[in-house]
Amino acid sequence: MQQEVIIAGFGGQGVLFAGQLLAYAGMDEGKEVTWIPSYGPEMRGGTANCTVVISDEEIGSPFVKNPAAVIAMNLPSLDKYEHLVREGGTLVVNLSIVDRQVTRDDIQVVNIPANEIAEAIGSKRAVNMVMIGALLGNMDLLSLEALEAALEEHLPERHQKFLDANKEALRRGAAYQPGEPVKA
């Protein structure tokens, strides 16, 4: 089975790292993977996205026209990718900074206040992990344990101090139920 995910947002939101982490987790689980980043010339604030393909078989092409899932971390990303999600696919939207409703009714939409959840656990930079957790909690892609193991294995040494917060962000994102209050 092959699954394609596009993760998109502003530079500085951890979009590319989130995609790398998915790819590492898939690779560590013995899957075939591709990861293709795309970003503007700006360091922070410009657009950034990546495409991750995870498959049980050899991947024919790393390019994706209609992904099984999209993580939209901001409004421009939702505007750009909403229509591309394949019918029956999953769209995860950062409700904290997206101020419009998804217009499609043929996909699963996961609205999550990712910024508030990350702030509640004391790590504003863990928004990307909240979003990945929400994806895993709503799509049969990889296990939460596989992502946690990939974090332990592939998080750069200089960021190891954020390991526990990143794991907690993954768990909170996976467990979030729409409408529930965000707890510290």
Residue-wise pLDDT tens digits, 23-76: 999 999 999 999 999 977 655 667 899 999 999 999 998 899 999 999 999 999
Is residue 88's pLDDT more than 60?
yes
Can you tell me the distance from the alpha carbon of 26 to that of 23, in angstroms, rounded to the nearest whole number?
5
C-alpha pair distances (Å), 30 with each of 22, 73, 172: 13, 28, 26
Map out the domains of the chain as residue ranges.
2-175
pLDDT band at 183 (very low <50, low <70, confident <90, very high): confident
* More confident position, 42 or 173: 173
Inform me whether the pLDDT recorded for 16 exceeds 70.
Answer: yes
User: Backbone phi, then psi, for 89, in 5-degree steps?
Assistant: -80, -175
Claim: this prediction has a pTM higher than 0.75: yes
Mean local confidence (pLDDT), 88-116: 96
CB 106 within 8 A of CB 42: no
Residue 184 is predicted with a pLDDT of 67
Percent of the chain residues past pLDDT 90, beyond the cut: 82
Domain range 2-175, its CATH number among 3.40.920.10, 3.90.226.10, 3.40.640.10, 3.90.1300.10:
3.40.920.10
| Strands 47-55 and 90-94, sheet pairing | unpaired
Q: For residue 55, give the 3-state DSSP assignment.
A: strand
Task: Return the higher-pLDDT residue of 180 and 71.
Answer: 71
3 state SS of 154: helix
